[in-house]
C-alpha cells in the first residue's frame, strides 16, 4: 500500500544465485476474497516482499453520499460490506441519530442488537467457511454455509433480502419484527452451539490445521495497536478492546457478555477469538430476546432530515473490526462529507507485516484470518 515493488526481478543476496519471481496474486484468484490483488515477490516459495493493490471494486461511494439526501444514503451502506450489511446500516443510522440527537425507542434498540449480532454470526460463519477453504478444509466450508443459510432465512423474512439487508431507519426501524421472528431466532440459538462444536471437532485439534495456523502471521500487541488494527486481529494479539464495551451504543451496556482475548497474535488465536465471539453473540441474542420490550419501533423524527452544522464521529463494532463514520454537515439535507473508517482496509495494512518471510500458502491463510471484504476496502 505504501511501497511499490518494481515489477522486475533482480538477484538476491542468498547462498545461491537465485532470481526472485514477482507473482501477481489476484485480482482473479480463488482466495483473495474478491478482487484484492497481492503482488508477491517470491524467493522460491518464500515471500520476500509484498504489496496490496486495491481499488478494483471502487464505486465512489463517499462521493455519492455527498449528493444524496440523508435517508437515501442508508441503502448504499448495505453494499459496502455486503457480508455484514446490518452492521454497516446500523453505523450510518446511529451516526445521523447522534448528530441530530434522536432518541431511539427501546424495542428498536433491542431488535437492532439482535439483528446485528445475527449478522455478526453470519459474517463470522462466512469467514470460517472461507478461511477453512483457503487452508483446504472444504467440508467446513459447506457446514458453515449450512448454518449461515438458517440466518439468511431469518433475514429474508425480516428484511426481504438475504445479503443487502436493510430495515434500519434514522430514528428506529422501518417495521417491527414478524410474528415468528422470536421463535425462529431461538430455534437457531438452540441449534448453534452443537454446530460450533462440530466445526471445532474438525479443526481445533487437527494436526494439519494447527500446523497451518499456529505461529503463522504473528503480530505483536504493540504492532497491532500502531497499525490501528481492530476486531479479532487486535484481540487475537491480546489487546482488550471492543467498541461494544469501550463506548457502548444501543443497549449493549445492559447486556452481559465477555470479550475473548488471544495471547500470541497468530492465525490460530484469531481463529479462536472469532469462534468464541460467535458463542458470545449467541449469548447476547438470547439475552436481548428475553428482555425484548414492547412499544413502538420508530422514534420522533422530523419529516425532513437536516443534520445541524458540525462534525460527528461514531463507531460500532462490526464483525471485521471497528467501523467508524465521520460526518461533516453544513446544516443542509445532504452531508457535506461522509468519511468511513473501514475496518478491513486498516486490517489489510497488517498483511505485509504478517506475511513477509512466510510461504505462499501462509499468505493465503493470513488473508483469510484477517477477514477482509473488498466492498468495504474499495468503497
Partner 1 sequence: MMIQWLWITALHVAPKWLESLVEQLFAALPVWLTSNLTPTDATDFIVWPLLQIGVMLLIVLTVVAYLTLAERKVSAWIQVRVGPNRTGPLGLLQPAADGIKLLIKEDVIPFKADKVVFTLAPIISMVCAFIVLAVLPYGPHYASITNINIGLLFILSVSSVGVLGIILGGWASNSKYPLLGALRSSAQMVSYEAAIGLTIVSALIFTRTFSMQGIVEAQRSLGVWFILFLFPSFIVFLVSAVAETNRAPFDLAEAESELVGGFHTEYSGFRFSIFFIAEYTNMVVVSAIAATLYLGGWYVPGMDWVAAQLPAAYREAALTLMGVTAFSIKCGAILYLFIWMRWTFPRYRYDQLMELGWKWLMPAALANIVLTATIFILGKELGLVRSVKGVLEMAWQGKVFFTVAGFLSLFPILALLNAINRNSRSFNLRAQRTTIPLSTRKVKLSPGVKPA
Q: What residues line the site for partner 1 (CB under 8 A)?
A: 21, 23, 29-31, 44-46, 132-139, 142-143, 146, 202-212, 214-218, 240-242, 244-247, 258-264, 266, 268-269, 272-273, 276, 357-362, 364
> For partner 1, which is the closer residue by CB, 328 or 356?
356
Report the alpha-carbon angle 363-80-108, nearest 5. 120
Q: How far is the CB of 239 from partner 1 (least distance, A)?
A: 9
Q: Give dist(CA 101, CA 123) in Å, integer.
A: 30
Q: How far is the CB of 142 from partner 1 (least distance, A)?
A: 4
In a 13 Å sphere around the CA of 175, the CA atoms on its Cβ side amount to 10
CB–CB of 31/364 below 8 Å?
yes
Q: How far is the CB of 333 from partner 1 (least distance, A)?
A: 35
Strand-pairing partners, residue 53, are 37
**Residue from 50, 52, 57 nearest 34 by CA:** 57
> For partner 1, which is the closer residue by CB, 348 or 366?
366
Could you tell me the CA-to-CA distances from 265 to 45, 157, 359 in Å, in that order? 23, 39, 18
Q: How far is the CB of 244 from partner 1 (least distance, A)?
A: 7
Q: How far is the CB of 229 from partner 1 (least distance, A)?
A: 16
Q: Give dist(CA 79, CA 88) in Å, integer.
A: 9
- Cell 437515501 belongs to 72
Q: How far is the CB of 25 from partner 1 (least distance, A)?
A: 9
Residue 179 phi, psi (nearest 5)? -55, -40
Q: How far is the CB of 367 from partner 1 (least distance, A)?
A: 10
Sign of CA dihedral 219, 262, 239, 53: positive
> For partner 1, which is the closer residue by CB, 239 or 343?
239
Q: How far is the CB of 215 from partner 1 (least distance, A)?
A: 4
Q: Give dist(CA 92, CA 49) in Å, integer.
A: 37
CB–CB of 218/354 below 8 Å?
yes
Cell numbers given for 269? 488465536
Strand-pairing partners, residue 39, are 24, 51
Amino acid at each position: 500500500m505504501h511501497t511499490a515493488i518494481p515489477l522486475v526481478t533482480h538477484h538476491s543476496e542468498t547462498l545461491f544465485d537465485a532470481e526472485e519471481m514477482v507473482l501477481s496474486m489476484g485480482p482473479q484468484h480463488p482466495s483473495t476474497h474478491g478482487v484484492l490483488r497481492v503482488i508477491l515477490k517470491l524467493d522460491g516459495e518464500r515471500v520476500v516482499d509484498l504489496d496490496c493493490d486495491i481499488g478494483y471494486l471502487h464505486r465512489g461511494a463517499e462521493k455519492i453520499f455527498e449528493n444524496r439526501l440523508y435517508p437515501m444514503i442508508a441503502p448504499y451502506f448495505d453494499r459496502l460490506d455486503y457480508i455484514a450489511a446490518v452492521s454497516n446500516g446500523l453505523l450510518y443510522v446511529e451516526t445521523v441519530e447522534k448528530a441530530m440527537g434522536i432518541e431511539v425507542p427501546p424495542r428498536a434498540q433491542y431488535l437492532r442488537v439482535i439483528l446485528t449480532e445475527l449478522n455478526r454470526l453470519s459474517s463470522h460463519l462466512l469467514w470460517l467457511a472461507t478461511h477453512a477453504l483457503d487452508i483446504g478444509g472444504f467440508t467446513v466450508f459447506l457446514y458453515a454455509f449450512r448454518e449461515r443459510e438458517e440466518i439468511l432465512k431469518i433475514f429474508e423474512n425480516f428484511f426481504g433480502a438475504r445479503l443487502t439487508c436493510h430495515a434500519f431507519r434514522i430514528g428506529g426501524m422501518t417495521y417491527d419484527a414478524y410474528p415468528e421472528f422470536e421463535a425462529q431466532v431461538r430455534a437457531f440459538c438452540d441449534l448453534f452451539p452443537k454446530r460450533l462444536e462440530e466445526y471445532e471437532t474438525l479443526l481445533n485439534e487437527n494436526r494439519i490445521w494447527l500446523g497451518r495456523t499456529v505461529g503463522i502471521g504473528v503480530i505483536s500487541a504493540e504492532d497491532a495497536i500502531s497499525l490501528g488494527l481492530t476486531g479479532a486481529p487486535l484481540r487475537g494479539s491480546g489487546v482488550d478492546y471492543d467498541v461494544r464495551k469501550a463506548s457502548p451504543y444501543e443497549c449493549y451496556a445492559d447486556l452481559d457478555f465477555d470479550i475473548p482475548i488471544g495471547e500470541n497474535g497468530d492465525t490460530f488465536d484469531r481463529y479462536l477469538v472469532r469462534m468464541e465471539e460467535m458463542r458470545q453473540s449467541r449469548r447476547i441474542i438470547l439475552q436481548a430476546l428475553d428482555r425484548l420490550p414492547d412499544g413502538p419501533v420508530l422514534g420522533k423524527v422530523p419529516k425532513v432530515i437536516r443534520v445541524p452544522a458540525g462534525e460527528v464521529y461514531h463507531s460500532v463494532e462490526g464483525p471485521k473490526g471497528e467501523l467508524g463514520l465521520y460526518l461533516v454537515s453544513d446544516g443542509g439535507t445532504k452531508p457535506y462529507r461522509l468519511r468511513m473508517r473501514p475496518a478491513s482496509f486498516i486490517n489489510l495494512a497488517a498483511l505485509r507485516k504478517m506475511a513477509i518471510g512466510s510461504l505462499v500458502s501462509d499468505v493465503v491463510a493470513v488473508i483469510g484470518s484477517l477477514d477482509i471484504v473488498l466492498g468495504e476496502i474499495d468503497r
